[in-house]
Amino acid sequence: MSSGPSSSAPNGLHVHSDSSPPPSAPRPDQPTHSHHLNGFADQSSHNQKIIEYLYNYGFQRGEYADTVLHVHQNVYRLHAIILSRSPFLVQLLSTSPQVQVGGPRTIYVPVEREPEVTQEGFAIALGYLYSSISLRLIRSDNARAVLAAGCMLGGMEELCQVAYETCKRSISVDSISAWLEFVDAIPTPSTGADTPEVSSVRIFGPYAQRLRDDVFHFLVVTLPEILEIHPTPSDGTPTTPENGREILLQVFSGVPFEMFKAAIESPSFQIGSDQARFKFAKEAVEARKQGMARGPGYEETVVLAFGSAQGTGTSAVHVTRKMRKRPLWKVNS
């Protein structure tokens, strides 16, 4: 880069060498504009150029880097002043000594036990420290990894919110199985008595429960609507295309038990009368017995309570689970 006129002022600030007179001070009766800062009416264009330069030359090219960051199989040449925006990286910077005086600092990001933090997701979150241009790189197929990386690094609420909203929109009939596997790996909220070492909870933070709630809402409300499962006003029998009901059964056969029980018993799960819900639940349990039920050694049953629960806010259909009894072997003497 070519240098401008020399100056003793720090950080590149220097006095212009041209002979033009300095701007005159405003008279007391002359109106001033509070949005004029240092003589510039609009700095947004200038600021944008700086951000683009930082992203292109600082992040993508690693020019003038003072920090070497190792993560996965990648090596990044970056800048400590930018990385300090992340509380997680600040901790690593403060505990990683320089190999030689005046040389770059080397830090290693431990993600071996965090499978949700992928190479692409981490790169997008890391680039966000330099510029919000990383928001354009978030897609439905990488949003969860970006959210995991953003939550781990910290200090990037906007990135996490955009990634979360993309995750929420990506829940569909085609992707629900993958989301159910993800939810199944998240334990129920802890009471504080135990400290489970579960990656999803530690990495996703409050977004773990929000995603669980979104998957549940999709199961009990959105999915029946998509499959056109609506009870008729006359007898409460659902009018459903046959393939729609089969898809609903197939999805529910793979739902983790606690969510399956909550969905079947939820007042928001409107698929018909109590008898229609009971019949559906029995068929779903039967499908779960054929190899897709969660928890080996358990037996799931469905009970229809006597009397109607409509209007009480409770369900007449209840799902229970208990351990299968081991067969007793008689030993003949």
Q: DSSP letter string over 57-100?
A: IIIIS-TT--EEEEETTEEEEE-HHHHTTSHHHHHHHHH--BSS
CATH class of 46-153: alpha beta
Cβ(266)–Cβ(281) below 8 Å? no
Whether residue 282 contacts residue 302, with contact meaning beta carbons closer than 8 Å, is answered with yes
Residues of the chain with CATH 3.30.710.10: 46-153
Answer with the residue of higher pLDDT: 231 or 32: 231
Alpha-carbon distance of 108 to 75, in angstroms, equals: 9
Predicted model pTM: 0.77
Q: Which residues are CB-neighbours of 315 under 8 A, at least 6 positions away?
A: 264, 265, 266, 267, 274, 277, 309
* pLDDT score recorded for residue 2: 41
**pLDDT surpassing 50 at residue 255:** yes
Contact 203, 151 (CB under 8 A): yes
Mention every residue, 6+ apart, whose C-beta is less than 8 A from residue 156: 85, 86, 125, 128, 129, 150
Q: What is the pLDDT of residues 186-230, one digit of tens each?
A: 766 554 444 444 444 468 999 999 999 999 999 999 999 999 886
Closest CA to 122 of 78, 165, 91, 80: 78
**Mean of all residue pLDDT scores within the chain:** 81
The per-residue b/e assignment along 300-330, b for 16 or more CB within 10 angstroms, e otherwise, is bebebeeeebeeeeebbbbbebeeeeeeeee
CA distances from 213 to 26, 188, 219, 318 (A): 59, 12, 10, 21
User: pLDDT by residue (tens digit) across 20-44?
Assistant: 444 444 554 555 444 555 555 567 8
Q: Say which residue, 191 or 282, is predicted with more confidence.
A: 282
